[in-house]
Chains A and B, each alone.
Chain A
Amino acid sequence: MRSRRAPLVLLVPALLGLLFLVLPLVGLLYRAPWTTLPERLTEPGILNALKLSLLTATLATAGCLVLGVPLAWLLARVKFPGRRVVRALVTVPLVLPPVVGGVALLLVFGRRGLIGEWLDSAFGITLPFTTAGVVLAEAFVAMPFLIIAVEGALRGADARYEEAAATLGAGRWTTFTHVTLPLVAPGVAAGAVLCWARALGEFGATITFAGNFPGKTQTMPLAVYLALETDLQAAIVLSLLLLFVSVVVLASLRDKWIASP
């Protein structure tokens, strides 16, 4: 056990930092209309937005798992030319302003977009202004979170187990499903939760690419933004709900991190 007394030079800024991050949340709690909260939460508009948010975030996370885990494996286990560039590209949505992501998605998957035009003429599928469009926008923004977490777990995992499985006659696919995946399961779970939380909070790409229509593309963050135009109290209630869900998710994520090696 080391000394528990932190030097004041560190302690003061640390506490100020904590205060800075927590105070806005306290403000939200302080101003919340607690007495009318139950009836406000059961308003159909709010429930619709919440349901849609939970559904789209879950679908986006599922899609990210299917595509992101193999991509993370590729980045961690296979040496190929340009791997660094690919890794950088994969993380671009992390730093890209989400609105820019939305515009980029429109230019590719929009009705006049590179792929969207063909989708429309060949299959009659248009993605903007649909729930599928919301899922797409959320997945675009959230997938890097999953990839980073899984790739980190893969790099941390001991490759000798995989080699041992291979020498014992297991095929590559069997090795991946029976050795590699269980080994990095906590990392995948952590990545999935983080990905889900990011998808749940997505705003910019969603409103740019999928638009805003109640019940179809209006997720919680969009509902918060529009509620601010008319009713601050409603916006606070919606924000509170999102905050609650986020905290629950991140608290469970914390355990996952601790459980992982």
Chain B
Amino acid sequence: MRARWISVALAAVTAVALTACGSDTADTATTAPTGGSSSAAGASGPITVFAAASLTGAFTQIGKDFEAANPGTTVTFSFAGSSALATQINQGAPADVFASAAPANMKTVTDAGNADGTPQNFVKNQLVIAVPKGNPKNIATLADLAKPGVKVALCAPQVPCGAAAQKALQSANVTVTPVTQEQDVKAALSKVTLGEVDAALVYRTDAKAAASDVEGIEFPESANAINEYPIVVLKNGPNKAGGQAFVTYVLSAPAQKVLTDAGFQTP
């Protein structure tokens, strides 16, 4: 009983916080209840969404839009690394939806029998080379990262952005010795923002979000290392109908526009 009270209180607090800080944009672009027939039907109450950290910006907006389109619902997010979220879900965390940044982390959840239905890919993300504003080392291609005197940060091969970076570098036949292998994409990006490295391989969405400090350089080999983002409703979530409505909404046109505006690509 007490646990439920706490979660209700948390949801309420989060809802207040979200509406308080989102009053500027939320009202203008969001009054299109597309997919209303499917989502409005059973959607009510609090919905808990576990989502990859890279979705933070876009999903916060989508959550607000969803709440506007489905009165009576409140969406609470837990943003973290996909593997940490997958572990939490498999350990019994009460979430309704899981949006992962990589199929591998989704697989740990489906393998454990915690998914309700088949995960659907809703966006994909591609790597770009992030360089400090002005591109002081004149980096134009992936091969430039291997030049002497160029300090590069990559994600560690254990995390999804690192695995993607390895794939891209391999397909380009370029060997880069990074000065550091960061634990997530944001850490790699911040090393560029701080000017400690000359370049890093990060997701396009991250480079776009940091556009005031870094430039993102597209490179053709990134096509060989595309990251798919799957989403699924969870079996043990307390609000499955709400979770299903949210997943449907994420796949709808208005949500997809928010995601592409953030730099994601449609699958």
Contacts and interface: CB of A to CB of B under 8 A. Distances in A.
A212 B182 contact: yes
A211 B195 contact: no
B180 interface: yes
Nearest to A210: B180
A213 B195 contact: no
A214 B83 CA distance: 21
Given A207-B187, A225-B183, A229-B83, A106 B196 contact: yes
B196 A110 contact: yes
Contact of B158 (A106, A107, A128, A230): A230
Interface string A186-213: 0000000000000000000001101111
Contacts of B211: none
Contacts of A111: 195-196
A212 B156 CA distance: 8
Given A110-B196, A111-B196, A211 B158 contact: no
Nearest to B105: A229
B181 A213 contact: yes
Contacts of A207: 182-183, 187
Interface string A224-261: 01111110000000000000000000000000000000
A226 B195 contact: no
Nearest to A128: B196
A214 B181 contact: yes
B194 A213 contact: no
Contacts, number: 56
Contacts of A222: 183
A250 to B, nearest CB: 27
Contacts of B191: 211
B83 A211 contact: no
B45 interface: no
A222 B191 CA distance: 17
A129 interface: yes
Contacts of B194: 106-107, 110, 112
Q: Which of B151, B159, B194 has the most CB of A within 10 A?
A: B194
Interface in B196-217: 196
Nearest to B180: A211
25 contacts: A106-B196, A110-B195, A111-B196, A112-B196, A128-B179, A128-B196, A129-B151, A207-B187, A211-B153, A211-B179, A211-B181, A211-B182, A211-B191, A213-B178, A213-B179, A214-B181, A218-B181, A225-B183, A226-B156, A226-B158, A226-B183, A229-B83, A229-B156, A229-B158, A230-B158
Nearest 7 pairs of A and B residues by beta carbon: A211-B180, A129-B179, A112-B195, A229-B158, A230-B158, A226-B158, A212-B181
Interface of A: 106-107, 110-112, 128-129, 207-208, 210-214, 217-218, 222, 225-230
Given A106-B194, A212-B156, 5 more contacts: A128-B180, A207-B182, A213-B181, A228-B83, A230-B158
